[in-house]
Chain A
């Protein structure tokens, strides 16, 4: 076993500095800026550009120079600005899909400009998209738990769909940690199509990740409860409480998770954390980790060790190694039990059938990240300054050689020395690892509040100039980094170029908008080798606390400009047969039910008068018949709490009981045209006495 301790004291940055910035240099004397400015001014040839004096002599450059001096910008600042600034109309090369944390949404951010392009409403009603105010209710209701509406989400880990281990830009999945729910987002229209509640888990954290061809969406639980969260006292924790991982079958044709073909594994109550799917050589396997092999049950108020201490007693937790192919066969053979009517392969069956193995891992781990070739699994424990790199080949050999001892639940624990490839001391609080195209791995250091770049060995060694398993460089981030994301950095072919550090604290980075501070996404240039990494941009996120993000090349996404046809129902992604279209507007009464068939076009609704009687049940169908890109119409009815967003071609149906008599003006909530304010109409709800008198 190769084991290396890395002395990194020479790399230690000189911290703390008051503002975490390098000392400012005088601009005029800096050759690098001179080159930049000369190039910008487009003056002279290479000869002039290489002369430091060029920055002072050129007319246009002098102005930029003055601006830089006036704003106290260092050459690095100017470089960062030049690398991230997008002139109006220039489209970003990459798109970052970030979990929206408590917002229950997903954020879509252009890179490298770090401009927020939109949020995608998922678990939480969102008025701009009309989500939950007339459309999307049926999908939000899929996430109800035992009839209780849950209208927020704690989104953690987005997963882009993959084909052969690479992002294909078609689907996006996201989990809600709070209530163990998974959502499916269609990247043709960036709208949520399905929410599915895990029937056996109360909460999840190990989701979402996808298998290399998106056959399964992985959802691992977090805090153990009895499966199905039925009641059992904490004194029965060891016997009755359980962890789990669910493999949700994704039906790409239908664009939906198919619960009928999905199943879960029962796991010991070790508080499973993150999972990752194997790829290439390790395809068909799934890796996860756990944080409470101590089986701590807390109880600080009774004099017990609090969880934070109780769950951190042992030196090691368990890396979970799952043979998914085998699990699939066992599921197909019907060797499962049912919990809340959901198939669960019992822990004993997992052990007997050789589905589940453990290996010791550094304690309190967060990341379990499979390297691009699928050959290495990198685990970092927040309380151990090393990353531990496991070899998949060695894992397979150890399993074949039965180099294991059973642990308390009988799960085979592979011999650590037999499966570890290397250890690299990266710094304090290593949390999550990503990869690039140059054989480097990047690990976030929560406590050191840095990201460290270190070298992979084996086949990756030829990609980088440094020796294998060494720290190549570190960069300070601000502050308390959680996950990091590199461009396509968890696929079989990472792009390198950019990394985003998702920082939990921003402290002094922005204007302080009261005591609740924004999170800080920091864009880092990783295009150069060695210790050259540069912080390029700080993006405040003041909507929720994002956790993980994935970065996809923008040209892999093929979103629609407008819905393909007029009368398009985004839920079924096809034309709705009874969608109102131009010329077919009407109001039909059937007993106490009134069907309104309405169209919206710049700048009117048709009809503009809708008369119903108090107590009528109103079913309102409305189509935006506009076809121009961006000609979105809103539709709001006050008091009845309706607000839709109707993108060009979209049709929607909503229902309400007209229980409030009176006059209600409906209107367009998107500034659609010069006569947008005139885009309105009257809903007249006749009081019942009047109705009776007629």
Chain B
């Protein structure tokens, strides 16, 4: 058990350098909270600008759904033979809420592990925002490059890959894709996780090293 969970903090060490051990704990907790909160906010948004849409067309991607002018965008996309947006990332969307919750729980779990295995639990959360963007990019590339060759405007719009972040151009539309609240929360959480792991190592590595030299189990170890 000790091999998995890592050493407990000796009581005198806890009294002496409390903040050293609290810091990674708090950072991981905060990251978990941000990640959990991100579930309720949109991750990504795209605005399509065209002369005849003075207010633009907006679509927002939550982890599990799309909101905004999806119907209208699908309506326009049929001209170039793009499949309806609802057909994209179905598996990911069905699992995303559960997966993200698990990632947040893993972060909480990492708090209780005082050795290098903590990184194994925490790193998936750190990689999550990048993973989201990569997945989104792959879907957009897939959709943009697999247009129905028999669509009304297929002769005038060639297959394309709209940028997952930043500005793109399709026909008379300029697309502007931006990260939204959820992705920013997840990215901050990722940075917090990295910082937490750094401080985690600084706090617990000495204990681990010390335990390898003289393994001892203290009755009054403190649970951080």
Contacts and interface: CB of A to CB of B under 8 A. Distances in A.
A680 to B, nearest CB: 13
Nearest to A626: B75
B75 A601 contact: yes
A675 B75 contact: no
Contacts of B54: 89
Nearest to B52: A630
Contacts of A603: 79, 152
B72 A628 contact: yes
A602 B78 CA distance: 9
Most buried by A among B71, B75, B79: B75
Interface in B117-137: none
A95 B76 CA distance: 34
Contacts of A674: 79, 153
A675 B152 contact: yes
Interface string B61-79: 0000000000110010001
Contacts of A602: 75
A176 B39 CA distance: 60
B72 A627 contact: yes
Contacts of B53: 628
Nearest to A675: B152
A601 B53 CA distance: 17
B152 A627 contact: no
Nearest to B71: A627
A602 B73 CA distance: 12
Interface string A661-684: 000000000000011001000000
A89 B153 CA distance: 31
A175 B94 CA distance: 58
A674 to B, nearest CB: 8
Interface string B126-155: 000000000000000000000000001100
Nearest to B152: A675
A602 B76 CA distance: 8
B63 to A, nearest CB: 25
Interface in B35-60: 53-54
Contacts of B79: 603, 674-675
Contacts of B72: 627-628
A89 B54 CA distance: 10
B21 to A, nearest CB: 56
B75 A628 contact: yes
A566 to B, nearest CB: 9
B69 to A, nearest CB: 8
Interface in A643-694: 674-675, 678
A563 to B, nearest CB: 14
17 contacts: A89-B54, A601-B75, A602-B75, A603-B79, A603-B152, A626-B75, A627-B71, A627-B72, A627-B75, A628-B53, A628-B72, A628-B75, A674-B79, A674-B153, A675-B79, A675-B152, A678-B152
Given A627-B75, A628-B72, A674-B153, 13 more contacts: A89-B54, A601-B75, A602-B75, A603-B79, A626-B75, A627-B71, A627-B72, A628-B53, A628-B75, A674-B79, A675-B79, A675-B152, A678-B152
State the 6 A-B residue pairs at the shortest beta-carbon distance, nearest first: A628-B72, A627-B71, A675-B152, A627-B72, A602-B75, A601-B75
